[in-house]
Amino acid sequence: MTLPAAGGLPEGPPVRTRIGLIAPFDLALDDELARWIPDGVSLHAARTPRLPGPVDLDLAERLNDHDQILACIGELSAIEPAAYAYACTAASFVDGVTGEHALAEAIRLAGGVPAVTTSGALLAALTALEVRSVAVAAPYEIMITERLVRFLAEAAITVTGYGSLGITSRIWEVPYRTTAELIRRLPGSGAEAVLLPCTNLSSYDLIAPLEAELGVPVISANQATVWAALRLVGRRAVGPGQALVERA
């Protein structure tokens, strides 16, 4: 085989900034997370071991196992990520604000690079948008949602109303219409933003139209996770019409 002269070869391979994604065993939305990733950045996932049982408060507590989470860093470290993100909302808020800080710091120390959790990313997103009150539309059973409300209160975020779908498996199958209807039914008023927790709840194509309808930012777990991880490496997320991406 004869190769073309050097001047006819493409430049490359491209130099990419790599982000290590630590995912709970049941994360099904890797493709959605990648939609916020700009050119020149790549997302690489490792999963925690599979655990039996429904998506409930007990599972959230078991997914906050630091040893299992940090083992994922060992799987990803060979590709030298520039940052790590633990993409699980419930497991990162279940032990409160102090627990979230401890988890993020443990990942940072083990990985040797900046790190963020989904719950920490949600708080960072609210701060960036100067939001102090939210309505919460969650797919979870009510006990998980109430633990999230407590976490937000610890962080001085007022929850004006919240609702839960009560789903304990296959959350990634929730239709956009179901999520939108839950948001429209939320009690209370005056929220400065809507929060969509759970990294298995699809949201990318829902955010911009809901923001146009409601007139406030809609911040999802996946959006905030990628947005925050990209900030750690000096890059911006891709999300046309999304307030967090365009304003923060």
Q: Would you kindly state where each structural domain of the chain is located, as residue ranges?
A: 17-237
Q: Is the pLDDT of residue 141 over 70?
A: yes
3-state secondary structure 134-197: EEEEECCCHHHHHHHHHHHHHCCCEEEEEEECCCCCCHHHCCHHHHHHHHHCCCCCCCCEEEEC
Residue that wins the pLDDT comparison between 2 and 103:
103
Cα–Cα distance for residue pair 229/84, rounded to 1 Å:
7
**Residue type at 54 in one-letter notation:** P
CATH T-level fold of 17-237: Rossmann fold (3.40.50)
Phi, psi dihedral angles at 246 (to 5 degrees)? -90, -25
- Return the pLDDT at 106: 98
- Give the confidence band of 1 by pLDDT, cuts at 50, 70, 90: low
Cα–Cα distance for residue pair 93/106, rounded to 1 Å:
15
Q: What is the mean pLDDT of residues 153-160?
A: 98
Cα dihedral 212, 213, 217, 220, rounded to 10, equals: -110
Q: What is the mean pLDDT of residues 217-221?
A: 98
Q: Is the pLDDT of residue 195 over 60?
A: yes
Residue that wins the pLDDT comparison between 189 and 202:
202
**Model confidence pLDDT, tens digit, residues 62-74:** 999 999 999 999 9
Minimum mean pLDDT among 7-21, 25-39, 169-183, 189-203: which range? 7-21
- Give the confidence band of 5 by pLDDT, cuts at 50, 70, 90: low
- Return the pLDDT at 9: 83
pTM summary value: 0.95
CA 29 to chain centroid, in Å, comes to 10
